[in-house]
Amino acid sequence: MENFNIKNIKAIIGLGNPGTKYQNNRHNIGFRIVDCLAERFGSCWQLVDKFEKTQICLDLNSDDLKKHCIFLIKPMTFMNNSGQVISYLSKKGIKPDQILVVHDELEKKFGKILINFGGSARGHRGLLSIISLIGKDFWRIRFGIGRPENKEEVSLYVLSNFYGQEATELDFFIGQSVNMILEK
């Protein structure tokens, strides 16, 4: 697979849980990043069925008057059922390799951000939901949130808020994630 290029992306799905209770949780970093992306383009979210959507349009080539438009999607079905948005994207003719999923990554330290293609879900139930419907061949931006020392604490950890130095640096890393998406 070639390198990530925003010109090939038609939909960006941010993973998270709906509601103010979860708003600042580690597990909601996907929502936070697509919210920042929408805000940067002045886009407004619209609730449709079981997800929120908006669209951003990029000027990728000054010689080309046509803009490249991308759907931003936030599933409102809770993390474990994130894949329910796939039927909407399929009806729009969007293929798996034209999708970028933004999610939290336990296996990376806080603030480590990677864009890659394919791979396993590594136990991430939002990714499992999507993979069960379209397979594993889609783009991902993995935002490192670190891992608790005890495996038994993972469920509570991902549903906890960022704190201390992480909370202070969070906006910087969210902005860096958006820049990575747009610059590649």
Query: Does the annotation count 124 as an active-site position?
Result: no
Beta bridge partners of 25: 161
Q: Residue 37 and residue 109: Cα distance in Å, rounded?
A: 23
Quote the CA–CA distance of 23 and 16 in Å, as a whole number: 8
Please give the DSSP secondary-structure letter assigned to residue 160: S
**Coil, strand, or helix at residue 142?**
strand
Residue in the structure block whose two tokens are 């936070």: 32
> Catalytic: which of 27, 68, 103, 124?
27
End-to-end CA distance of the chain: 15
**Which residues are part of the catalytic machinery?**
27
